[in-house]
């Protein structure tokens, strides 16, 4: 908090430290007497324990299985490698902070990765990322390709929206590419009807920045405001529909899309709407990659480049045409003699 991090970051760090202290309490070890052995116990427990936040209803889909409609894998029952890596980073930072004031153990219980430090030292942002070995206890991290909805999948999801608020909310998500929490915080003064843009508080910098909105999304938004009335000053536009109107929380917006995907037997999330908007923009020949980076407010263009990767689902039509074409017989230029071709490539070539 002294470093002016966002409240959400402080909250996630607090939960990771609570998990670490629960391990120390179970081992009956004080936080100032820990060694790398306690960090080993933390990682070993996280790699084998079940995550209570991922409990499923009996008879539901198998954890870790791939949804055949979306191609997205379902969450596994345990803790993800990113969660383990984040927990190790938090514990390492916690002891680095106290070691500066002469408190805690002499050595940090989480080992440092000297290869990573050497690879990233004095590296220009224009240079390609240097490969380095993983540090001890660090899990193997894989780059997950973003999953975007096709036009047909988006139409099926949008057809499940049963009110003007939900239709306006989904349209603003898929046209602006804003994050879930960013869009939920807009107020009436944050809507620029003439320029077709919305002003949001960016997640990382917490600066007030504009994001685009399609004319269709603004039309749905106008219909929603016409039905429910204009909100008071200082109150977000998105409100609940039952009981006394209250600002729509992230969990309530998440439940909107969950009800829709349960009917469709899919596993789309709110963040997939941002992936869909980013993929559509990145594949538009009239938009450059730098322009898409500006719209999505990515700090590094390498993050935007992930949306230019072509998936196998996008090549279905081309692969069908490829398999339907007959095999072309091998032919050689006429200036080569048949005996020379047979000597080099063998008989029957």
Half-sphere exposure of 106 (CA within 13 A, CB side): 0
- Which of 179, 275, 280, 297 is an active site residue? 179
- 271 given a catalytic annotation: yes
Radius of gyration, CA atoms only, the chain: 26
Residue 300 is a catalytic residue: no
d(CA 110, CA 38): 9
Which pair of structure tokens corresponds to residue 65?
């299985």
CB distance 67 to 267 below 8 Å? yes
DSSP 3-state of 44: helix
Q: Is the dihedral of CA 124, 130, 133, 137 positive or negative?
A: positive
Which residue of the set 69, 116, 132, 298 is catalytic? 298
Catalytic residue among 19, 72, 74, 203: 203
Beta-carbon contacts of residue 138 (< 8 Å; ≥ 6 apart)? 85, 88, 113
Question: Out of 274, 275, 280, 297, which one is annotated catalytic?
Answer: 274
Annotated catalytic residue within 69, 239, 271, 283: 271
Q: Is 203 a catalytic residue?
A: yes
3-class SS of residue 14: helix
Active site residue 86: no
DSSP state letters, 252-283? HHHHHHHHHHHHHT----HHHHHHHHHHHHHT
Task: Check if 298 is active-site.
Answer: yes
Annotation says 274 is catalytic: yes
Q: Catalytic positions, please?
A: 179, 203, 271, 274, 298, 307
């Amino acid at each position: 908090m002294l470093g002016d991090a966002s409240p959400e970051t402080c909250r996630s760090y607090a939960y990771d430290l609570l998990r670490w202290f629960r391990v120390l309490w179970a081992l009956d070890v004080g936080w100032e007497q820990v060694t790398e052995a306690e960090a080993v116990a933390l990682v070993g427990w996280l790699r084998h324990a079940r995550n209570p936040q991922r409990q499923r209803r009996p008879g539901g889909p198998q954890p870790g299985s791939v949804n055949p409609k979306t191609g997205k894998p379902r969450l596994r029952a345990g803790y993800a490698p990113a969660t383990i890596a984040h927990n190790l980073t938090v514990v390492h930072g916690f002891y680095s902070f106290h070691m500066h004031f002469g408190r805690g153990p002499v050595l940090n219980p989480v080992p440092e990765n000297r290869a990573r430090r050497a690879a990233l030292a004095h590296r220009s942002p224009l240079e390609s990322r240097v490969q380095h070995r993983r540090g001890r206890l660090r899990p193997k991290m894989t780059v997950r390709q973003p999953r975007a909805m096709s036009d047909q999948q988006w139409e099926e999801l949008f057809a499940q929206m049963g009110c003007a608020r939900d239709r306006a909310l989904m349209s603003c998500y898929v046209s602006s590419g804003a994050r879930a929490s960013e869009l939920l915080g807009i107020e009436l003064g944050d809507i620029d009807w003439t320029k077709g843009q919305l002003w949001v508080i960016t997640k990382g910098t917490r600066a007030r920045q504009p994001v685009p909105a399609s004319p269709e999304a603004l039309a749905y938004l106008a219909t929603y405001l016409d039905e429910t009335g204009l909100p008071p000053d200082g109150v977000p536009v998105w409100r609940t529909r039952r009981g006394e109107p209250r600002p729509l929380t992230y969990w309530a917006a998440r439940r909107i899309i969950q009800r829709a995907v349960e009917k469709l037997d899919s596993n789309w999330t709110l963040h997939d709407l941002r992936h869909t908007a980013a993929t559509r923009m990145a594949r538009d020949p009239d938009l450059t990659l730098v322009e898409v980076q500006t719209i999505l407010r990515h700090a590094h263009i390498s993050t935007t480049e992930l949306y230019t990767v072509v998936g196998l689902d996008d090549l279905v039509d081309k692969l069908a045409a490829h398999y339907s074409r007959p095999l072309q017989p091998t032919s050689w230029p006429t200036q080569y003699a048949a005996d020379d071709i047979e000597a080099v490539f063998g008989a029957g070539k």
